[in-house]
Structure 1
Amino acid sequence: MPTVLVANRGEIAIRVLRAAKELEWSTVAVFTEKDTSHTAFADEAVKLDNVSQYMDAKSMVEVARRTHSTHIHPGYGFLSESTELALACQEAGITFIGPTVDTLRVASDKMKSRQLAISLGVKVAPGDRIRSPEDVIQLGESVGYPIMIKALDGGGGRGIRIVEGSGEVEDAFKRCLGESPSKQLFAEKALTGPGWKHIEVQIIGDGKDVVHLWERECSVQRRFQKIMEIAPSSLSRESISPLIDSALRMARSLRYKSLGTFEFLFNTRTSDLIFLEINPRLQVEHTVTGEILHTPNGYYSRKLTTPFLEEIMSIDILRAQLLLSLPETSLHSLSLSTVAIHRGCAIQLRLTAEDSSRSFTLSPGRILAKDLSWPSGPGIRVDTWLTHSAEWIVGTDFDSVLGKLIIHGLTFDEATQKAKRALRELRVGAVVKTNVDVLLGVLNHDDWRAGRIDTLWLERNLNDVLRLGSPGQKDSSPSQSLSPADMESAATSGGLGSQSTVSLRPGTVFNLTFSPQTSASSATHSLPAETKHTLTLSSVALNTFPDRLSGTIQGTILPVPFSFDLIQSTSVSLSSSEYEFGDQNNPSHVVSPITGKIVDLHPAFADVQSKTTGKAGGDDGQKIGLGRVKKGETLAVLSVMKMESIITTPRDGVIERFGNGVRIGVIIGEGMLVAVVSGELKSRL
Structure 2
Amino acid sequence: MFEKILIANRGEIACRVAQTCRRLGVRTVAVYSEADAQARHVQLCDEAWLVGPAPARESYLDAERILEVARRSGAEAIHPGYGFLSENPTFAHACEAAGITFIGPPAAAIDAMGSKSAAKALMAEAGVPLVPGYHGDNQDPEHLAEAAAEIGYPVLIKASAGGGGKGMRRVDRPEDFATELAAAKRESAASFGDEQVLVEKYLLQPRHIEVQVFADTAGNAVHLFERDCSVQRRHQKVVEEAPAPGMGEQRRREMGAAAVRAARAIGYVGAGTVEFIVHQDGSFYFMEMNTRLQVEHPVTEMITGEDLVEWQLRVAAGESLPRGQDQLAIHGHAFEARIYAEDPANDFLPATGLIHHLRTPEENPRVRIDTGVREGDEVSIHYDPMIAKLIVWDGDRPGALRRLRRALADYQVVGPTTNITFLQALTAHPAFSAAELDTAFIDRHHEALFPEPQAASDRVLALACLAEFLRIDAEAARRAAASADPYSPWHATSGWVLNDDNHHTLHFRDGDRDISVTAHYREGHYLLELPGGEIRARGQLDGNGDMRVDLGGVRLTATVVRDGATLTIICDGLTHELVCHDPLTVGMEDEVREGSLTAPMPGTVVSVLVTAGDQVSEGQALMVLEAMKMEYTIKAPADGVVEHIAFSAGEQVSEGAELLAIAANE
Shorter-chain TM-score bucket reads: 0.7 to 0.9
Where 2:215 maps in the other structure, the secondary structure is strand
Instruction: After TM superposition, give the deviation of residue 45 of structure 1 in Å.
Output: 0.9
Q: Is 21-30 or 4-13 further displaced after alignment? A: 21-30
Instruction: After TM superposition, give the deviation of residue 539 of structure 1 in Å.
Output: 4.3
Which residue identity does 1:184 align to in structure 2?
E
User: How far apart in 2 are the matches of 1:169 and 1:481?
Assistant: 51
Equivalent in 129, 138, 159 of residue 151 of structure 1 = 159
- Residue pair 1:209, 1:255 contacting (<8 A) in 2 also: no
User: How far apart in 2 are the matches of 1:447 and 1:679?
Assistant: 43
User: How far apart in 1 are the matches of 2:582 and 2:5?
Assistant: 62
Unaligned runs of 5+ in 1: 291-310, 473-478, 496-500, 511-535, 567-580, 605-624
Q: Indicate how the Cα distance of structure 1 residues 17 and 547 shifts in structure 2: closer, same or farther if over 3 A, else same.
A: farther
Equivalent in 199, 216, 225 of residue 188 of structure 1 = 199
Instruction: After TM superposition, give the deviation of residue 325 of structure 1 in Å.
Output: 0.9
Deviations along 1:572-608, one digit per CA (max 9) or x if unpaired, are xxxxxxxxx8x43x4321111111111212352xxxx
1:412 alignment partner in structure 2: 397
User: How far apart in 2 are the matches of 1:222 and 1:335?
Assistant: 35
Unaligned runs of 5+ in 2: 473-477, 480-492, 494-502, 509-513, 519-529, 531-559, 568-577
Deviations along 1:604-644, one digit per CA (max 9) or x if unpaired, are 2xxxxxxxxxxxxxxxxxxxx54333333333211111111
Instruction: After TM superposition, give the deviation of residue 461 of structure 1 in Å.
Output: 0.8
1:170 alignment partner in structure 2: 178
User: How far apart in 1 are the matches of 2:12 and 2:635?
Assistant: 35
Equivalent in 353, 358, 366 of residue 365 of structure 1 = 353
User: How far apart in 1 are the matches of 2:290 and 2:457?
Assistant: 40
Which residue identity does 1:179 align to in structure 2?
E
Which residue identity does 1:54 align to in structure 2?
Y
Which residue identity does 1:668 align to in structure 2?
V
Deviations along 1:190-225, one digit per CA (max 9) or x if unpaired, are 34333x111101011003110110111000101110
- Residue pair 1:72, 1:94 contacting (<8 A) in 2 also: yes
Residue 343 of structure 2 corresponds to residue 340 of structure 1: no
2:300 alignment partner in structure 1: 289
- Residue pair 1:507, 1:537 contacting (<8 A) in 2 also: no
Instruction: After TM superposition, give the deviation of residue 483 of structure 1 in Å.
Output: 5.1
Where 2:49 maps in the other structure, the secondary structure is strand
2:564 alignment partner in structure 1: 546
User: How far apart in 2 are the matches of 1:318 and 1:543?
Assistant: 37
Where 1:179 maps in the other structure, the secondary structure is helix
1:37 alignment partner in structure 2: 40
Where do residues 525-604 of structure 1 align in structure 2 (5 Å cutoff)? 538-539=516-517, 544-546=562-564, 548-549=566-567, 550=578, 583-584=591-592, 586-604=593-611
Instruction: After TM superposition, give the deviation of residue 23 of structure 1 in Å.
Output: 2.1
Which residue identity does 2:46 align to in structure 1?
D
Which residue identity does 1:23 align to in structure 2?
L
Where 2:70 maps in the other structure, the secondary structure is helix
User: How far apart in 1 are the matches of 2:128 and 2:28?
Assistant: 41
User: How far apart in 2 are the matches of 1:107 and 1:154?
Assistant: 10
Equivalent in 232, 242, 263 of residue 275 of structure 2 = 263
1:612 alignment partner in structure 2: none
1:17 alignment partner in structure 2: 18
Where 2:626 maps in the other structure, the secondary structure is strand
Residue 230 of structure 2 corresponds to residue 222 of structure 1: no
User: How far apart in 1 are the matches of 2:35 and 2:565?
Assistant: 20
1:125 alignment partner in structure 2: 131
Instruction: After TM superposition, give the deviation of residue 415 of structure 1 in Å.
Output: 0.4
Equivalent in 489, 493, 504 of residue 466 of structure 2 = 489
User: How far apart in 1 are the matches of 2:277 and 2:468?
Assistant: 50
User: How far apart in 2 are the matches of 1:167 and 1:232?
Assistant: 41
Which residue identity does 1:192 align to in structure 2?
L
User: How far apart in 1 are the matches of 2:461 and 2:304?
Assistant: 48
- Residue pair 1:212, 1:339 contacting (<8 A) in 2 also: no
Q: Indicate how the Cα distance of structure 1 residues 210 and 365 shifts in structure 2: closer, same or farther if over 3 A, else same.
A: same
Instruction: After TM superposition, give the deviation of residue 438 of structure 1 in Å.
Output: 2.2
Q: Indicate how the Cα distance of structure 1 residues 192 and 337 shifts in structure 2: closer, same or farther if over 3 A, else same.
A: closer
- Residue pair 1:539, 1:553 contacting (<8 A) in 2 also: no
1:160 alignment partner in structure 2: 168
Which residue identity does 1:403 align to in structure 2?
A
Instruction: After TM superposition, give the deviation of residue 494 of structure 1 in Å.
Output: 4.0
Length, aligned pairs only = 571
Where do residues 182-261 of structure 1 align in structure 2 (5 Å cutoff)? 182-194=193-205, 196-207=206-217, 208-234=219-245, 235-261=247-273
- Residue pair 2:507, 2:582 contacting (<8 A) in 1 also: no
Q: Indicate how the Cα distance of structure 1 residues 287 and 148 shifts in structure 2: closer, same or farther if over 3 A, else same.
A: same
Instruction: After TM superposition, give the deviation of residue 336 of structure 1 in Å.
Output: 3.5
RMSD, aligned CA:
2.9
Structure 2 length normalisation: TM-score?
0.80
Instruction: After TM superposition, give the deviation of residue 168 of structure 1 in Å.
Output: 1.2
Deviations along 1:462-507, one digit per CA (max 9) or x if unpaired, are 2212349x899xxxxxx99935434432344349xxxxx999x963
Which residue identity does 1:49 align to in structure 2?
G
Equivalent in 79, 82, 97 of residue 88 of structure 2 = 82
Which residue identity does 2:656 align to in structure 1?
G
Deviations along 1:27-83, one digit per CA (max 9) or x if unpaired, are 111111232221011121111222213223223222212222211110001111110
Instruction: After TM superposition, give the deviation of residue 285 of structure 1 in Å.
Output: 0.5
Where 2:317 maps in the other structure, the secondary structure is coil
Where do residues 267-416 of structure 1 align in structure 2 (5 Å cutoff)? 267-269=279-281, 271-290=282-301, 311-327=302-318, 329-331=319-321, 334-336=322-324, 338-368=326-356, 370-387=357-374, 391-416=376-401
User: How far apart in 1 are the matches of 2:609 and 2:27?
Assistant: 50
Instruction: After TM superposition, give the deviation of residue 677 of structure 1 in Å.
Output: 1.7
1:134 alignment partner in structure 2: 142
- Percent identical pairs in the alignment equals 31
- Residue pair 1:288, 1:312 contacting (<8 A) in 2 also: yes
1:519 alignment partner in structure 2: none
User: How far apart in 2 are the matches of 1:653 and 1:379?
Assistant: 57
Which residue identity does 2:320 align to in structure 1?
S
Where do residues 376-525 of structure 1 align in structure 2 (5 Å cutoff)? 376-387=363-374, 391-429=376-414, 431-467=415-451, 482=459, 484-494=461-471, 507=505
- Residue pair 1:538, 1:554 contacting (<8 A) in 2 also: no
Instruction: After TM superposition, give the deviation of residue 555 of structure 1 in Å.
Output: 5.1
Which residue identity does 1:258 align to in structure 2?
G
Instruction: After TM superposition, give the deviation of residue 508 of structure 1 in Å.
Output: 6.5
- Residue pair 1:145, 1:189 contacting (<8 A) in 2 also: no
1:620 alignment partner in structure 2: none
Instruction: After TM superposition, give the deviation of residue 551 of structure 1 in Å.
Output: 5.1
- Residue pair 1:192, 1:455 contacting (<8 A) in 2 also: no
Structure 1 length normalisation: TM-score?
0.78
Equivalent in 644, 648, 654 of residue 635 of structure 2 = 648
User: How far apart in 1 are the matches of 2:439 and 2:124?
Assistant: 24
User: How far apart in 2 are the matches of 1:55 and 1:425?
Assistant: 36
Deviations along 1:216-256, one digit per CA (max 9) or x if unpaired, are 10001011100111100012222222211211111122222
Equivalent in 633, 636, 639 of residue 623 of structure 2 = 636
User: How far apart in 2 are the matches of 1:467 and 1:134?
Assistant: 42
Instruction: After TM superposition, give the deviation of residue 554 of structure 1 in Å.
Output: 6.9
Residue 187 of structure 2 corresponds to residue 179 of structure 1: yes
